[in-house]
Structure 1
Amino acid sequence: MAAAASLALLVALVKLGSESGIALPEILFWRQLPTVPLVLLFFWSQGRMADLKTDRLRQHGKRAVIGLMGMVLNFGAVTLLPLAEATTFNFTSAIWAVILSALILHEHIGIWRWSAVALGFGGVIIITQPGDGHIPVLGAAVALGAAFMIALISILIRDLSRTEQPLVIVFYFSLLSLPILGGALPFFWTEKTVEQWAILIGAGLVGLLGQFLLTAALRYGSVASVIVMDYSGLLWATLLGYALFEALPSTTTWLGAPLVVAAGLIIAWRENLVRKKVRPPATL
């Protein structure tokens, strides 16, 4: 829940930065930059620099590439959509996870989860009102793409968490993505006001906190349980959207968002039951 609150604040800062004239590649670069020195400082102060050593650099690289693509889509959606709607579309990551499990992992998906998938996409259709709604079709498509990437990233983080500490995963994501973002920076650089620098620094610090909390949540809890807690982010997105941008969700969002949330809750409930069925009995 703390991760959800932090990430809601992050996307609000991203939207503020974008509306103030800062280009998305710049926002991404400054979002990632504070992570590397702060994590290094933390491990150095604890005398634990050896903990940053990894034998899974290739997996970290894959996570960095997919994570960077996800960030571009996620932050891009925030610039195209109101906060509450962008957050709601993010919740379809649970739906994408079910589809990926069926297509890639060949997992058996029962009627409950397929019904949840249909329910969730029904909610998306209600929110977007294709061709006749207040939500830009491009914005909706970008947001759904971001949710798809989040589902992939969750699987990768879960795998990395078997051997890596949360801060190590966060560190390598930033370390490996910064050269790519730095290479694009000269093409988008502009002079900054004091307010813009405050937004960029705040986004970097809040993003680091949210990323660490989310990675820790995926380490200590199941993906399904983390997704359930993530729904509290809709409340924060609604409040921040009203406080900072004087924007409240539309009627169609109030009607469609509960369907998307309900779909995620059904998926989490069924996955929890499936894990209990396959879990071997404890031995004394």
Structure 2
Amino acid sequence: MGVVEIPRDAEAADTQRGVVHLVVAAILFSGLSVLAKLVGARVPLPEVILVRSLVTVAFALGTLARGDIPVWGKRRTMLGLRGLFGFIALACYFYALMHLPIADAIVIHYIHPVFTLLLATVVLGEALDGRETVFIVGCFVGVVLVTQPQALFGAEATSADPFALTVAVLGALVSAGVYVLIRELRATEHPARVVFYNALVASILSAPWAATTWVAPEPREWTILLAIGGCTFLHQQSMTYGLHLVRAGRATALGYVQVLLAMLAGIWLFGEEVDRVAWIGAVILAVSAAWLATDRKPIPPRA
């Protein structure tokens, strides 16, 4: 029997749906950042991770039950690795945020689309064309100009903690592994199951950590924590659906939209000031991300 080919128009439509999911995921992640900033003034980070993971587990189980979808899946080792990699990437990112200037940590973290592109090319055979590569580079340049890390814009670059820098780069590399794993799992595993494993592993690993620093949340803080859990589930679900439909390298580049949204949130909600260089970076970032989001070229067949 011959291979049934999907019409290119259908592939392009799937790509556009995937882009919508990824942009929604970026918006949700920006909302998560705002909520975490609000609750993080008193509630320790491991506690935030634990509560959001437990809430996500509950939502994912509910989704699987409604669809009568088996919980544990076929490729359990890879699903577990996706959860482990996700937890390591998150821990590395937050460690970098605590020990490096915020802008430096963000810029290093957003090297991960480059790592993702390299891994996806080798593991999945998903090479990008020249135009996509140019606009991914444009996104990264925009992030650098928006965040203006001290390593490039300040005089204190030599004071950066070498271990924290190493952890930040490790987090970016592991993040790339997360995206490639999600793409690899798309053929056999339902997105809600992938989200479930990620949250379950994070719950197990963060529980002992949270127990050592536990602070009883106030009613308002419980509301925010539960909202973080709900947003986390929706973010993970949207990101996973998007990665089922969009090449890994391009999909991770669309995550750069989060930086732009975080900048706007900082202006509107926290009264942060933005200089001319940052606005130039925001324009470059917006244009590059918009091109990646609107290009209708479908995913090429896997070799």
User: Could you tell me how far apart the structure 1 residues matched to 2:149 and 2:243 are?
Assistant: 30
Q: Distance in 2 between matches of 1:87 and 1:130?
A: 12
Mapped contact 1:70–1:150 kept (Cα < 8 A): yes
Q: Does structure 1 residue 8 correspond to structure 2 residue 33?
A: no
| In the alignment, structure 1 residue 41 sits paired with structure 2 residue 62 | yes
Q: CA, structure 1 residues 225+131, in 2 after alignment: closer, same or farther (shift >3 Å)?
A: closer
1:163 to 168, 174, 188: 188
User: Offset of 1:102 from its aligned partner?
Assistant: 7.4
Correspondence 1:64 to 2:64: no
| Residue correspondence of structure 1 range 240-255 to structure 2 within 5 A | 240-255=265-280
* 2:232 counterpart (198, 207, 228): 207
> For the structure 1 residues 70 and 209, does the alpha-carbon distance in structure 2 shift closer, same or farther, using more than 3 Å as the test?
same
Partner of residue 31, structure 1:
52
User: Please, which moves more after superposition, 237-246 or 106-115?
Assistant: 106-115
Q: Unaligned regions of 5+ residues in structure 2, if any?
A: 1-22
The residue type equivalent to 1:206 in the other structure is C
TM-score by length of 2: 0.71
Structure 1 runs not aligned, ≥5 long: none
SS at match of 2:193: helix
State the alpha-carbon separation in 2 of the partners of residues 162 and 181 from structure 1.
29
The equivalent position to 2:177 in structure 1, one of 152, 156, 169, is: 152
> Over aligned residues, Cα RMSD in angstroms?
4.0
Identity %: 25
Aligned residues: 273
How has the CA–CA distance of structure 1 residues 135 and 201 changed in structure 2, closer, same or farther, with 3 Å as cutoff?
farther
2:261 corresponding residue in structure 1 = 236
Question: Whole-Å Cα distance in 2 between the matches of residues 3 and 114 of structure 1?
Answer: 22
Q: Secondary structure at the match of 2:70?
A: helix
Q: Deviations over 1:232-268 (max 9, x none)?
A: 3333212211233222444444455666778889999
Task: Check 1:279–1:61 CA distance in 2 against 1; reply closer, same or farther (3 A cut).
Answer: closer
